[in-house]
Each structure stands twice: as C-alpha cells, then as structure tokens.
Structure 1
C-alpha cells in the first residue's frame, strides 16, 4: 500500500512538471518557427579573406594602458584565411541544426549577462543584478534568446551570435574545419596590412564606422549610428583594406591566447583568454568601459558568456601552399 502511494505521488509530480514545462517549450518553438526558411538569405555574410603572413608591430605606444597593449612589439605571423564577418546568428543556427547535441555554456548554466537597457521590464524583474548595475544575470538568456526568454533571433539573423563561451566558439570553428584565431592573427588581420595605426581604417576616429557607445553611460546613448545594442555585422561597411567588418565595435571576439595581468605573477593568475575588438558599450575616449582601438584587449574566463561577446574563425595556410596559390594568381593575371 505504501509503495503504491509513493508511486502515485511521484507520477503526479512528473505530470505537474510536464504541465508546467509544456507552455514554455511551446512558446519557445513559436518564437523560432520559420527560421530554417530564412537562414540561407544570409550566406553572403560567410565570406573570408586570405591574409599573407609577415612581421608587424603589435600593440600601441600608450603607457597608460594597463591591458597589455603597451609596449608595442614586433611579431611574426603565418598565412591564414579569416572570416570577414563575425559569426552570425544565421550561421550558428545552421551549426546547431547539425550539432543538436552541443548545448552552449549559457544553455547549460541557465543564464547569461545582458545589458540592463535591452531587456523587458518583466525579464528585468526576474533577473539578478551584478556589481556593475548595467549588467544583469538574465535567466533564460542564450544565443537564440539574446535578451532573455521573451526574445528571439528570428528578426536578427544578421547580428553576431552572442552568449557563447570559449568552448562553444572553438567547437563551432572546428565543425567548419577551422579554429579560433590567436591574438596575433586577429590583430594582424584587423590592421588590414597597415602597421601602427590606431584604428583599422587609419589614425583618427571616424563617426559611423563602428557600433560603439555614444552619450552618457549607462543611462542613455545618443544612437547617432542608428543602433541600440547589437547591429547587423555589415551595418557599417568594411573597416580596413582587407574588407573586414566589425573588427572594432559591436562585440568582443574570442581568441586562443592566454591573458595575463602585467604586474601579477602568472603562476598566481586564474585562467583567462584574450578577447579583441571592443563592443557596443565601449567608447572612443575610454570614459566608459574600454577605449575602442585595434590593439585593445581584455581577459575573460573561458566559461564567460554575455550579450557583447562573439567570435570569428581562421584557417591557417602552410607557407608552401600559400606561395603556390600566389604564383597561380600571378600567372592568371599575366595571361589576362
């Protein structure tokens, strides 16, 4: 009798859980219904650029910087192919259709960091603020629900994918036969073949070239560029001579390079990795968050996820193979 009673109690508990979960699962499916028919329209954002290796001056001559940009130093980099755009929601959607068993860090953990002004009042009321009041731990924020459980990527498939940690980014690149860039490769490509420039396009900042914060922080932004939060990865046109987009601004991008504080014994430091490029909450002068520039860097824990962190992939090219490709291109030009 007792055994049967406990069995019934357990059965009723399971039924109750299913009843409570079904509406949430159904609403989630409704939000993303129809994406499969749309993602192919964004194939034009999957372009790459071949970068010939060489030696360049990395960093910036700014002794005030405490992130490791200073002092500038020369670095050798091999040849590689790099994405011209950060990985988009459309591209990550296709990846998850193939790798349905890969759940991102934010999906497993159940929450991720979102900028407070981008979420609904209902979601904000259910979220947990951080030490920085503008960052909120939003339960249910994931790569396909970037502003919380009541949001969707259905209308933002051309935005950079966010709420992905280092492993998520590395797994995606590996699935495409590529890998994440090192910090050296990322900065070398971001400079577009130029040496020592502050920005990908030149030495002076130009308006409407990147999605960054404008106006008082964190309560308002002037939105001169027309975007609040994330923007499409091609919203501002190419930023350097390699025709690369969103090199600075919009989202920080993961690299495989370990990050170390300059004045602390490396053996005592927690594991962190370099992210590059800055994001939509960073500024030209650094009065709010980080200064936007090509050499800028920051260290994040590998399991960190947020609404302003994404990535792009690279494919190294053996030096001999690159030389053969270059020779073939020269011959074709000569024949023409």
Structure 2
C-alpha cells in the first residue's frame, strides 16, 4: 500500500482525536450534569456578553456544497434553508474570557477531570515523550496534564495567548460556559449563515480564492502535513481571534484557527420536500458537529476549511484545535 493511499484512508478521520471511552469513572451524563449545574454569572456580566454579539439577519440561504470532498461528512448536496434572526459572537471565546468564567464558576473541564488531552506533536518540545494516540493519527500525542490553561502540558501556560481562542475544549465545556453566560451554542445552520457573511455559493467567508490578492486570509497549515509547517501565515498553532479581516457580518476566523463546536448532533441530512426552517439536526447521536476547520487544515489532508465544511467528534473529546463561539436569539 502506498503512502498516498494511506493518507487517503486517514482523511476519513479528519485531523481531530477521539477520546477512547470514559475515564476516571466519568460518563457523558456526569459531564452533562456538571455543565448544566454551573452557577449563573451576574446579570451585569450576562448583559455585557450579550452586548458584544453581532446581529445576523434571518432569511433564506443555500447551505452546504454542491459535491462533498468526503462523502462521510454529509455536507452536500447544496440546499435552501431558512433561519430566524439571531446573534453570534464576532470571534471564538478567548483564553481570557474562559479564565473569567472558570474564576467565577469554579468549573473544571473534561481534560482536567480526566487528566489529559490531545496535543498536536509539533507544539511539543519533546513529542517522543508522549504516546501516539489515537491509533493511526501519529500527529496527536496523549499528554498528561494538558488542558485549556496548560495547552502543551505541564510547564506550559497561556500568559502570552490571552487573546487566542481557548482550546482543549470539549462540547460539554462549551455548554458549561454557555450555561454560565446565559447564551448558547449556535445551531449548525446558523453558524453557516453567519460564516458566509451574506455571500452565496462561495467557498470562504470572503469569496472563492484561498489567498485573495495573494495574501493569507485565515490560519491554516502551510508546508507538508503533518511534519513540516512553514508558518508562512505567521502561526504554527492558534492565532489571536482578531487576526485577518472579518467577513461581511463583522465576524472573525469563521474558517481556520480552531474547530468550533455547534449545538447539533452529527448525522446525515434528512431529505425534505419543503424548505427547512431553523433546522437543528438529529434529535440524538453519539457525536457533535464541529465547523470551520482549524490551523491543521491543508489541501493535502484535512481539506475542511470552507464555510460548508463540517466534521464531528465525541462531546467529551478535547484537542489543541477545538474551541467554540457563542450565540443567542433565533428560534432556539
């Protein structure tokens, strides 16, 4: 079997790592309960957080792609949907914002409870010190002591990354923040409506060119994945949330940087004879949808940095490239 065939097979797994079952006696019900039991922030904080959101007009738009790059992603065919007006954060939740939440609520993330998280190997000084995990994705290392404020494990911190998106966030951790903030995760259709910035049938928030005008417009991989990142765009890992130009709705980094959790369970599209209004995905499932791609996406492997791209992961999985942004309003 050739190397290229191996890479094609691996593509189906995207670039994220899935947690191998429950750990330390914790179950998904335990994580859900902890997320929903988070104390509410003060009304002043909640009002402040709501005031930062950008209003997105409701209406019809075409969601998805004409043809999927990876059929198992279920991001095609293109279809018309309708969403109600809603509001969404201009950028992903930052380290500073998540630290404020943790200080106010005392919440401990899934990675903290389980004692480890997945770290991309090139972010580590000595990747050989940590086991490859999960099997088949040699660029991930299971690092004991890695979590949102110690993103590369013991001895690392976020002192110089306060304005970067918080990472190592499981879906349950995003839900906990939303519980505290009086907000919610966007639904997938809302996320894509927002990401497109008012444009139709375009690949990116700004149009169809990967590098418009010869300049970088998002934080993705340059070089040979997964062993050489030239960082031509300026970043090996995450970038500050205000990097690059915003889209037509004033939203930053809707593609690249970190995968963003949304509310929906992952599953195939359900055919509809009429235009779906405020679609919400399957009623149940085993994995949650993530949107937008990350700093690890590259055409040679995880070509999922488009406004229609989607992947999924277990709601208790956390990685170096998993974050979220918040929303409210709409037909929630």
Q: TM-score, normalised by structure 1?
A: 0.75
Equivalent runs, 1:62-81 vs 2, <5 Å: 62-66=67-71, 67-81=73-87
Answer yes or no: is 1:289 the counterpart of 2:302. yes
What is the deviation of 1:65? 3.4
SS at match of 2:260: strand
Larger Rg: 1
Match of residue 278, structure 1, among 281, 288, 293: 293
Match of residue 220, structure 1, among 228, 232, 251: 228
CA contact (8 A) 2:265 2:285 kept: no
Match in the other structure for 1:249: 256
Which one has a larger percent helix, Structure 1 or Structure 2? 1
CA contact (8 A) 1:83 1:312 kept: yes
Gaps of at least 5 residues in structure 1 are: 1-42, 320-336
Match in the other structure for 1:4: none
Answer yes or no: is 1:53 the counterpart of 2:61. no
Equivalent runs, 1:88-167 vs 2, <5 Å: 88-100=94-106, 102-121=107-126, 124-130=127-133, 131=135, 132-167=137-172
- Give the total of aligned pairs: 267
Q: Distance in 1 between matches of 2:140 and 2:258?
A: 15
Q: Distance in 2 between matches of 1:192 and 1:53?
A: 12
Deviations 1:196-221 (A, max 9, x none): 21110012222310000011111111
SS at match of 1:193: coil
Q: Which moved more, 1:63-72 or 1:185-194?
A: 63-72
Q: Distance in 2 between matches of 1:64 and 1:126?
A: 35
Distance 1:205 1:172, change over 3 A: same
Gaps of at least 5 residues in structure 2 are: 1-47, 271-280
Deviations 1:2-58 (A, max 9, x none): xxxxxxxxxxxxxxxxxxxxxxxxxxxxxxxxxxxxxxxxx99x9421011111100
CA contact (8 A) 2:222 2:230 kept: yes
Match in the other structure for 2:192: 187
Q: Which moved more, 1:299-308 or 1:189-198?
A: 189-198
Q: Distance in 2 between matches of 1:306 and 1:243?
A: 27
Match in the other structure for 2:177: 172
CA contact (8 A) 2:83 2:330 kept: no
Structure 1 runs of 4+ aligned residues shifted over 3 Å read: none
What is the deviation of 1:64? 4.0
Q: TM-score, normalised by structure 2?
A: 0.76
Deviations 1:256-290 (A, max 9, x none): 11112579xx99x960111000000102x3x1223
Q: Distance in 2 between matches of 1:184 and 1:137?
A: 33
Q: Distance in 2 between matches of 1:217 and 1:315?
A: 37
Question: In angstroms, what is the RMSD of aligned CA positions?
Answer: 2.3
CA contact (8 A) 2:292 2:304 kept: no
SS at match of 1:128: coil
Q: Distance in 2 between matches of 1:164 and 1:64?
A: 27
